[in-house]
């Protein structure tokens, strides 16, 4: 009778070990999928950050160009106003 109990206990231990191995393999596969997804997500985040940096650089360039254009417009307007005043002040302009 003791041999039967030992044999059944050994069988239960063997089945539990196989089940544990199977569960470990499944957990490993899911962990691998999760790690792969995390790598893809990190790559996409880096790509998005690069695009954002390029966008910021383009906006900065556009603002600088607009500021230069604004300064040009102000200078041209002042020059035109000064010329108009000088023409009005010249005695033979009329």
Question: Residues 54-65: pLDDT tens digits?
Answer: 999 999 999 888
CA dist 41 and 32 (Å) reads 14
Q: What is the pTM of this model?
A: 0.54
CA dist 30 and 52 (Å) reads 33
Question: Residues 1-20: pLDDT tens digits?
Answer: 778 999 999 999 999 999 99
Whether the CB-CB separation of 15 and 23 falls below 8 Å is answered with no
* Domain locations along the chain: 2-93
Residue in the structure block whose two tokens are 């009005």: 88
The structure tokens listed for 92 are 């033979």
């Amino acid at each position: 009778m003791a041999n039967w109990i030992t044999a059944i206990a050994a069988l239960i231990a063997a089945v539990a070990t196989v089940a544990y191995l199977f569960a470990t393999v499944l957990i490993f596969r899911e962990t691998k999928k999760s790690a792969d997804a995390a790598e893809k997500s990190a790559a996409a985040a880096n790509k998005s950050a690069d695009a954002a940096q390029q966008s910021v650089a383009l906006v900065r360039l556009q603002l600088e160009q607009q500021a230069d254009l604004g300064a040009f417009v102000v200078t041209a307007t002042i020059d035109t106003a000064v010329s108009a005043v000088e023409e009005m002040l010249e005695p033979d302009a009329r």
